[in-house]
């Protein structure tokens, strides 16, 4: 499973530190170095790992800790807090409101599971009493509309798409308008997958976003440079990838 190995290595490093007879600078460094190695070998971004190590060292000042302090507990807590901080974007993720139309656009790399996750997302909300709908604005991959149609039909979710229209922006706008009129409160727009270097596809994604979600593209890095990212969904957790990239995301 994704992240299982990383979790195991971090737990092991903490366990070794906890088992040490005396907690000194060397024990702390060994523990942090082992966690650093585990994170880096799982593809977590170097800068994130470096900052994490620096922060823990700044919090756990062994020289200043008076006798009687539970150093093991303090180190453990500092590691836990810093790992959590790594995953905290510092702002709440986008949360749609039931009964009010929300448009959620799925973007991601090719084959990352957008279409599958769109349906799961719609199905999840449908079970909770929402009125979701799916729009297929992927005109790039042959069979994309059929795939969405099949998933949506199985989950009994209304869908919109076209076999003939080649402009994804047009489809997205029409789909969103259609479902707004039908009082759907969660309109999910599936887009075509893309790679970082495909400038034209990113431009298309920006246009779909501006025409439907209507937000500015003001944030950092690849996808974030093109559209505002309201939330990140990690897919394929049942796979064997190392998972560190997901933490960096």
Residues that bind ligand GTP (CB under 6 A): 108, 110-116, 138, 141, 144, 147, 192-193, 235-236, 238-239
CB of 159 to ligand GTP, least distance (A): 14
Give the residue with the Cβ less far from ligand GTP, 115 or 212: 115
The residue nearest ligand GTP at its CB is 193
Give the residue with the Cβ less far from ligand GTP, 98 or 141: 141
**In sequence order, what are the residues at sequence separation of 6 or more whose Cβ sits closer than 8 angstroms to the Cβ of residue 118?**
106, 134, 148, 151, 188, 190
CB of 190 to ligand GTP, least distance (A): 7
Sheet holding 102-106, edge to edge: 102-106, 186-190, 132-136, 159-160
E strands present in the chain: 102-106, 132-136, 159-160, 186-190
What DSSP string describes 149-171? HHHHHHHT--EE--SS---HHHH
Give the residue with the Cβ less far from ligand GTP, 64 or 238: 238
Give the residue with the Cβ less far from ligand GTP, 10 or 201: 201
CB of 236 to ligand GTP, least distance (A): 4
Give the residue with the Cβ less far from ligand GTP, 218 or 238: 238
CB of 109 to ligand GTP, least distance (A): 7
User: Would you say 19 and 30 are in contact if contact means Cβ atoms under 8 Å apart?
Assistant: no
Give the residue with the Cβ less far from ligand GTP, 42 or 137: 137
CB of 62 to ligand GTP, least distance (A): 43
For residues 225 and 179, give the distance between their C-alpha atoms in angstroms, rounded to a whole number: 28
Give the residue with the Cβ less far from ligand GTP, 116 or 207: 116
For residues 136 and 16, give the distance between their C-alpha atoms in angstroms, rounded to a whole number: 51
CB of 221 to ligand GTP, least distance (A): 19
User: Would you say 174 and 200 are in contact if contact means Cβ atoms under 8 Å apart?
Assistant: no
Q: Is the dihedral angle over the CA atoms 93, 98, 100, 103 positive or is it negative? A: positive
CB of 98 to ligand GTP, least distance (A): 26
DSSP H or E stretch at residue 51: helix 46-59
């Amino acid at each position: 499973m994704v992240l299982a190995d990383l979790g195991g290595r971090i737990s092991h490093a903490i366990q070794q530190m906890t088992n040490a007879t005396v907690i000194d600078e060397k024990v702390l460094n060994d523990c942090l170095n082992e966690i650093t190695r585990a994170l880096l070998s799982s593809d977590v971004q170097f800068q994130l790992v470096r900052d994490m190590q620096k922060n823990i060292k700044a919090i756990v000042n062994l020289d200043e800790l008076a006798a009687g302090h539970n150093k093991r507990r303090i180190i453990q807590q500092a590691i836990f807090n810093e790992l959590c901080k790594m995953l905290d974007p510092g702002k709440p993720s986008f949360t749609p409101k039931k009964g009010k139309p929300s448009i959620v656009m799925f973007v991601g790399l090719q084959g990352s599971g957008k279409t599958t996750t769109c349906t799961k997302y719609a199905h999840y909300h449908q079970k909770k009493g929402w009125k979701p709908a799916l729009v297929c604005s992927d005109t790039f991959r042959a069979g994309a509309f059929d795939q969405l149609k099949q998933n949506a039909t199985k989950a009994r979710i209304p869908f919109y798409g076209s076999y003939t229209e080649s402009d994804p922006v047009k489809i997205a706008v029409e789909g969103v308008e259609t479902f707004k009129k039908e009082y759907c409160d969660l309109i999910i727009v599936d887009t075509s997958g893309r790679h970082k270097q495909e400038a034209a596809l990113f431009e298309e994604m920006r246009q779909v976003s501006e025409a439907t979600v209507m937000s500015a593209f003001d944030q950092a890095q690849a996808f974030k440079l093109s559209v505002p990212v309201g939330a990140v969904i990690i897919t394929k957790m049942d796979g064997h990838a190392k998972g560190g990239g997901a933490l960096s995301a």
